[in-house]
A and B are shown apart, each in its own frame.
Chain A
Amino acid sequence: MYYLKLINTFLKINIQMSLAYRADTIVNILLNLMWLGWELLGLNIIFSNTTSLGGWGFGELITLLGVFRLVNTFMIALIWPNTEKFNQSIRDGSMDYTILQPVNSLFLVTFSRISVWRVWDLVLAIVLIAAGISISGDVTTPLSILTFLLLTISGTIVIYSLWIVLIALTFWFTKFDNNVTILQALLDAGRYPVTVYPVWLRIIVTFIIPIAVATTVPLQALRGELNPGRVFIFLVISAISFLIASRVWKAGLKQYSGASS
């Protein structure tokens, strides 16, 4: 409850900050719409030359685009702004103040910056997912939707855990401010089903930088391509990766010595 209250406060602060730049917000929304148009045009071009991509049809690719945008919004609205703040706090030593707060430091590092206006992007993503499902004509049951939601969340947790490990490395290597570039770069691979990629790329985006776990996998569940055993394995993996990540984070904190000392 206490944490929800804190998130509420963070939201208020961030709304105030973004209200200072109203025109920028409008420009950003327009640019975002332009990119959506570009993405849809791209899919349109692909499907004017073929009827299926890696075994998936147009509707499924729209749904995948929605899922991808869901994950991408999570990164843009929360993860990247906080990475910037975190890297700066390591450089100038203001991390000291974060650690001194009587709140879980990982929580503070994750939620203190929120790009509030991105909320509308979430709505757009959900519209895309729904539209995609209705175009593809796939039969969805309450159970498949539930596993889809669970796997989207657990996949996002896997990416989030990787992020924690990457930024925690900064505690050991202070000058490592490129820490998340690899994650940013490979995120785009989530736009298309991993089944179309060559094996080496598929291995990278599934096991090393597991973008696919949050994009392709939930959609496979929605289409009923995953048996309960595999769903269970994915959920366990996400729990384990978060446990490992929080261990690494704690070890990193012990390593931290401040910028001035």
Chain B
Amino acid sequence: MLKIFQRLWQVNWAEQWQYRANLIMYLLYWLVSPIIYLAVWTSIANAKGDVNGFTANDFITYYMTLLIVDQITTNIVIHTFAYKIQDGTLSGELIRPIHPMLTNALVNNIAFKMLTIMGLVPIWIILSFLFKPDFASVTWQGILLAIPAMILGFLIGFLLSAAITSLAFWTTRVYSIHEFYYALILLFSGQFVPLTLMPKVIQNIAQYLPFQLFLYYPIQLILGKLSTAQIVQGYVMAGVWLVLSIVFFNWVWRNGVKQFSAVGA
């Protein structure tokens, strides 16, 4: 099994490396909105002194951390997999004795991530010269606690996206469904603003949804903003959602593959 993963890694790394120019463009595209939100909220905090206890530096550290966390927990499975179901190229992968989604697509996403993080590091350093974040509240314990949380966040996000991508077995409008799902992530993950500044209703719902595990929870862990009770609650939620997303993905995938009759077959 290890050998299989090793070989898949070589193939997928080589494939992603080939598209490195596209990756840089993707990175630029993806960077803009956090930077805009950072600018908007720091300007408000500077004008008023603070926003509900958030100072300008709190916003700067939040979004600067978000840039890294988002790159670690995000995935592109909808863009790399849905078309395979639609044009039938999935057939070739289905006859192999390994799971197409949980091996090949997973490794492909991780290779993609490695490359974008390599591209992000220099950009991040330049941005920190421009914004001068003060990371005084960050501790090693916080970072160590956040690493498993980010891995969990990535796995949950990957499984949920994989399940939604697998809806392509039934409908051609899977991209529209994914767009709706993406809007939910924006709303409940803390992408737009730290969740504590959201309206109370949204905060209450967000607590029970998996989306905050992608961004808000790991970011706050790194920044050392959570109490012990909150840390425990986050990990419990992550455990529950990991199980739920495994079950959900398996169910969609199994029924989908049964449904699948490849183009041309």
**Chain A interface residues (CB < 8 Å from chain B):** 23-24, 27-28, 31, 34-35, 38, 41-42, 45-46, 48-50, 52-54, 178, 181-182, 184-186, 188-189, 191-192, 196-198, 200-201
Q: Which residues of chain B are near A23, meaning CB under 8 Å?
A: 173
Whether B36 contacts A192 by the Cβ 8 Å rule is yes
A-B contact pairs, 6 of them (CB 8 A): A185-B28, A185-B32, A188-B32, A196-B43, A198-B39, A201-B39
Whether A34 contacts B32 by the Cβ 8 Å rule is no
Tally the A-B contacts, defined by beta carbons under 8 Å. Answer: 73
CA distance in complex: A27, B35 (Å): 30
CA distance in complex: A124, B90 (Å): 41
Q: Which residues of chain A are near B197, meaning CB under 8 Å?
A: 45, 49
Q: Which residues of chain A are near B183, meaning CB under 8 Å?
A: 34-35, 38
Rounded to whole Å, the gap between the CB of B30 and the closest CB of chain A is 8
CA distance in complex: A52, B186 (Å): 24
Whether A191 contacts B25 by the Cβ 8 Å rule is no
Given A24-B173, A27-B176, A50-B51, A191 contacting B44 (CB threshold 8 A): no
Within 8 A of A (CB), among B27-75: 28-29, 31-33, 35-36, 39-40, 43-44, 47-48, 51-52
Interface centre among A28, A54, A191, A196 (most CB of B within 10 A): A196
Q: Which residues of chain A are near B25, meaning CB under 8 Å?
A: 178, 181-182, 185
Q: Which residues of chain B are near A198, meaning CB under 8 Å?
A: 39, 130-131
**Chain B interface residues (CB < 8 Å from chain A):** 21-22, 25, 28-29, 31-33, 35-36, 39-40, 43-44, 47-48, 51-52, 130-131, 173, 176, 179-180, 183, 186-187, 192-193, 197-199
The B contact surface, by secondary structure, is helix
Rounded to whole Å, the gap between the CB of A181 and the closest CB of chain B is 4
Among A41, A54, A184, point to the contact of B43 (Cβ < 8 A): A54
CA distance in complex: A200, B126 (Å): 12
Given A45-B199, A189-B32, A200-B130, A53 contacting B40 (CB threshold 8 A): yes
Please provide the 10 A-B residue pairs with the shortest distance between their CB atoms, ordered closest to farther: A196-B43, A185-B29, A181-B25, A50-B44, A178-B25, A197-B39, A49-B51, A27-B176, A185-B32, A185-B28
Chain A minimum-CB-distance residue to B192: A42
Rounded to whole Å, the gap between the CB of B181 and the closest CB of chain A is 11
Chain B minimum-CB-distance residue to A195: B43
Chain B minimum-CB-distance residue to A50: B44
CA distance in complex: A235, B89 (Å): 53
